[in-house]
Structure 1
């Protein structure tokens, strides 16, 4: 090969690199169902920003407000590659992935706070079991990036206690918490977060189990003025990724995603308590009727729920037993 030809080839290679024709940045679509100003929306955006800031090989575009995929369709859409990554409430997946119901145990004790929830969600045994389970759907379990806080009850009409939900039609939070609402005499309707306002406004439902964040950010005080302060469930938001897309990444790119998850968890936990206090203050200010639940009523509720807890282990075998063991450890109820 002549010196001239070698020089030409070298110049061509440099031109190729400069124009990017031999290198293409990969775009990943991240979907969620939160408003961008919602803390959960901010958390998803923070995760995307962490990837975008730490590698040129990947670019994450965020699709909020169910603009790409509805929350209850997250698992199927991620499996099929309609969306590459999705941040989804654990309760939305419980019908398809029964093992995930460890995160939807109803009316948990006060010891099951956000710290305990993260300890459960991030436990190595939990991660291994969840990753193996989601792999069957062609989905990679990336972990947990934030908490729902307490999902409580908000009603169109007044109530004096949790027992007053009997006979009412409620939008549930998903999973075993819906089983609990039915056990208390309510009928349960499945609705996405975006559908809550209209359903309450038109009387399609009499109330909802939802988070303080949704109550405030969706303006639900206008259509559900009664706040019943009983924690129906407390669950994490899972981060799922199309497994084929994940497996095709380089080790370096996967490491960028792992580190982005870790940084997002740290950021979320650092700011969540302040966010929750502000939200609770707004909920109390916006609701016309605030109904507190006595400790004796809460204890009675937990006793009523014990058969549901037992059924989780029975339905999920050894994996369910291991996760319940971890749940009991983190809540101090061993």
Structure 2
């Protein structure tokens, strides 16, 4: 009986040791897979009550699902993994703030914070409804195949310029503090022609007219394949005597959110799809009316408006017949 008890004790001890070793091994492996800290974190006041926070996209596997933005130790925003900038609003005028950003992957692992970024909001200005003057003398040049350096002369304002917003076409893609008159815009495409403008913003959120347009073409080539939607499918269905075209696709991977698509039907632009809320990241779908006749064959394809303000490549073309 005593010998059996000793054997049982030894077995239990060995089992416990193995279990602990296994748990330690899993813990170390899990910890080794947490996302890295975001780099390139910057913060610049956008007005007397807001700060624009930016960072570089984190590459990780599993991929990033959410970025957490902290003001001091308080989490103030969660941003989808496809975005890497945010305006933190509701702040106090004439106040200094410290921001950090952490990445969380699709399995829920939260990485360490990036370096601290500091910004101070300017004093509030009462009854200011006068916008700054437009920035002038804008210039630009390509810095490699995926970046452009921009510069401009300072805008004027009766209370002072707080920030400058950089636009590519109609899309705001970058923002810097009001004491800066130059910046480098990254995340661009090789072999692509860009048209940039700069607008000035004051503490009351008054925005100037755009300055002169800067046109720059990045060197290299881009066939559009990496920017085209994939897994594109097209089917039809009939409802109340009418036929609809049902589309489904996987959005292209991009350094930012994709909220707009263009659909071409039979070689012509048929419709634009703009997501007003949270845009889909893993799988998207859309359905639209194509007529009441059966036996009509259509050719359809789709492309995305990328975060840099340009259109990506077209998806594969699909042919579908109503009925």
Give the TM-score range, shorter chain: under 0.3
RCO higher in structure (CA 8 A, sep ≥6): 1
Q: TM-score, normalised by structure 2?
A: 0.27
Structure holding more helix per residue: 1
Query: Structure 1 length as normaliser, TM-score?
Result: 0.26
- Whichever of the two has the greater Rg, that structure is 2
